[in-house]
Structure 1
Amino acid sequence: MNKLKLILFDVNETLLDLSPMEQRMNQAFENENAFKLWFYLMLQYAWVENSIGTYSNLGEVGKATMSMLNKQLGKSVTEQKQQELLRMIRSLKPHPDVKPALAQLKEAGFRLVSFTNSAQQVAEEQMRNAGLDEYLEEIMSVDLVQKYKPAPETYLKAINHLNASPEETLFIAAHGWDVAGAANAGLQTGFIDRPGQALYPLAPTPTYQGKTLLELASQLTTL
């Protein structure tokens, strides 16, 4: 295995805590599962765009699928309220383990880059508002590729842009589908076992696993 040099991080749920947005959305739609339904509906239609060869950024897909959810649940959440809920994704706080872990990894000499399905402008605002931009060499979005993770070309385009190879790159996420996609593209992978998340059993076992990013950072800095 080549010496690890570059670490790519997924953002939503991996670095940032979505629970405040989840609580507000569930309240607005009067359904304890509204946020989860919307999140997976958004991913589903992002992947539909992959399949049919189109690309609308994730903000556009998120807006469209929240409107769909409103209809599916038989609710009448106003467009203004929906926009208010969608804007919350720009100001999420990081999980408590994230800043100390990033500091540890940066101190150890790793190149750190975020790589998200969110639009580039949103990604930059998220990292700035969360206070994570200072740890990152670059903030990247699939806007660069015009295709969503977990398509293999998204990861490969990102590491090519960063002048790295798959073998020397680690991708870290809290989503089984994202870890599976990165592994399929030939990257080393790390899975953060956040509450409610699970690995895809038919995908390769991640190179590293831990309950928190700090656990992964400890593993990586003792290599």
Structure 2
Amino acid sequence: MSKLNIKAFVFDAYGTLFDVHSVIEKCNEFFPDKGEEISQVWRKKQLEYSFLRQLMGTYTTFFTITKDALHYAAKQAGVDLTEGKEKELLEAYLELDHYEEVGSVLQELKPYKKAIFSNGSLDMLSPLVEQSSFGHLLDEVLTVDEVKQFKPTPMSYQLVLEKLGVRREEVLFMSSNPWDIAGATNFGFYTAWINRQDKVMDELGVKPHFEYRNLTGILEHMS
């Protein structure tokens, strides 16, 4: 592949910049020995519900979906989710740990446009970014809530072009989620799959242009 002319580095949030399973500690605090199970099911249903609501045409914010997914996870684990515990667990999603290399990578990319593009709504993303150490290094925090189309629909990715004023071939999009990489590649972005857990790529007829174990690999695309 010839040298890319990347003008915007665009990052998914959950699983790419922030560790969604850092809520396990809080889950274990309330439900001893069931934290990992609840966290895994919570994340799985969070994604499933966004896909299903997109298909059903019943869009709602990612915060509502996250709450609904938590209720499901608690029921499946057979635990009592009180109003107080629900509130604290949802607040834990606003304080997720970020991966250790994120700040230094964003600092290196300072000359470029840098944005988060997430299925998360601003009521979730804004507090999360503000409590991080790298919020000031981002130019935009973009959410599908503006178009009410969840990724991986083509219409959702169009928002990036409109907001950042770039062409598809000028975007390098990063995500740890294979379905998100498939959607972004299909849309026409250059894509870098941040495969932190050594997963297998989904069989959807498209492959990422690049694959790295963490975000440091994307620095090779600085011109």
TM above 0.5, yes or no, is yes
CA distance in 1, matches of 2:206, 2:182: 7
**For residue 73 of structure 1, what is the aligned residue in structure 2?**
77
Read off the aligned partner of 1:51 and give its amino acid letter. Answer: L
Helix, strand or coil at the partner of 2:141: strand
Read off the aligned partner of 1:74 and give its amino acid letter. Answer: G
Helix, strand or coil at the partner of 1:130: coil
So what's the TM-score if we normalise by structure 2? 0.90
Check the 8 A contact 1:175/1:197 in 2, yes or no.
no
- Give the C-alpha shift of residue 39 in structure 1: 0.6
Once the two structures are superposed, what CA deviation does each residue of 1:162-200 show, in whole Å capped at 9, x if it has no partner? Answer: 221111111101111110110111111011121264422
Check the 8 A contact 1:123/1:140 in 2, yes or no.
no
Deviates more, 1:150-159 or 1:193-202: 193-202
**For residue 140 of structure 2, what is the aligned residue in structure 1?**
138
**For residue 149 of structure 1, what is the aligned residue in structure 2?**
151
Once the two structures are superposed, what CA deviation does each residue of 1:4-44 show, in whole Å capped at 9, x if it has no partner? Answer: 11111001110112342123225534423221111111111
- Give the C-alpha shift of residue 153 in structure 1: 1.0
CA distance in 2, matches of 1:176, 1:46: 15
Q: How does 1:5-84 map to 2 (within 5 A)?
A: 5-26=7-28, 28-29=30-31, 30-31=33-34, 32-84=36-88
Query: Alignment identity in percent?
Result: 27
RMSD: 1.8
So what's the TM-score if we normalise by structure 1? 0.90
**For residue 90 of structure 1, what is the aligned residue in structure 2?**
94
CA distance in 2, matches of 1:36, 1:197: 15
Deviates more, 1:112-121 or 1:29-38: 29-38
Read off the aligned partner of 2:204 and give its amino acid letter. Answer: L
Deviates more, 1:22-31 or 1:174-183: 22-31
Check the 8 A contact 1:180/1:204 in 2, yes or no.
yes
CA distance in 2, matches of 1:110, 1:203: 30
Helix, strand or coil at the partner of 2:73: helix
Check the 8 A contact 2:22/2:97 in 1, yes or no.
no
Q: How does 1:196-215 map to 2 (within 5 A)?
A: 197-215=199-217
Aligned CA distance change for structure 1 residues 202 and 147 (closer, same or farther; 3 Å): closer
Read off the aligned partner of 1:52 and give its amino acid letter. Answer: M
Runs of 4+ in 1 over 3 A off after TM superposition: 26-30
Check the 8 A contact 1:147/1:154 in 2, yes or no.
yes
CA distance in 1, matches of 2:205, 2:197: 20
2:131 alignment partner, one of 116, 129, 132 = 129
CA distance in 2, matches of 1:46, 1:152: 15
Check the 8 A contact 2:94/2:128 in 1, yes or no.
yes
CA distance in 1, matches of 2:190, 2:71: 37
Check the 8 A contact 1:26/1:35 in 2, yes or no.
no
Once the two structures are superposed, what CA deviation does each residue of 1:69-128 show, in whole Å capped at 9, x if it has no partner? Answer: 22223221212102211111111232111111111112xx22100111111132121111
